[in-house]
Amino acid sequence: MGLAPKYLKLEIGQNTVIKDTENGKTLAQLAMQSNDQINAYKIQVEEEVPNAPLIGPDQKLSEKAR
């Protein structure tokens, strides 16, 4: 789907959400059955990314920008 994991919700069937802590588990460890479906949903994550100056007072690239 081309999404980072934090923007993706996975469910087995209609009611079992695959948690972030279960990412490395096999299908057997997740108790998948032959006819189970995995549903993938794109979720919205509210992020507050503060602006930071790119150029310092000396007109050079700031330390954080580097």
Q: Using the 8-state DSSP alphabet, how is residue 7 labeled?
A: G
pTM score over 0.85: no
CA distance 23 to 62: 37
- On whether residue 49 sits in a domain, the answer given is no
- On whether residue 57 sits in a domain, the answer given is no
Write down the pLDDT at residue 11: 92
- On whether residue 12 sits in a domain, the answer given is yes
Write down the pLDDT at residue 37: 92
CA distance 64 to 59: 14
Least Cα distance to 36 among 9, 13, 11, 10 occurs for 13
- On whether residue 62 sits in a domain, the answer given is no
State the total domains in the chain: 1
- On whether residue 47 sits in a domain, the answer given is no
Rounded to an integer, the average pLDDT of 9-32 is 88
Write down the pLDDT at residue 26: 92
- On whether residue 65 sits in a domain, the answer given is no
- On whether residue 53 sits in a domain, the answer given is no
- On whether residue 48 sits in a domain, the answer given is no
pLDDT digits (tens, 9 = 90+) for 24-45: 899 899 988 888 999 999 988 7
Domain carrying residue 16 = 5-42
Write down the pLDDT at residue 29: 93
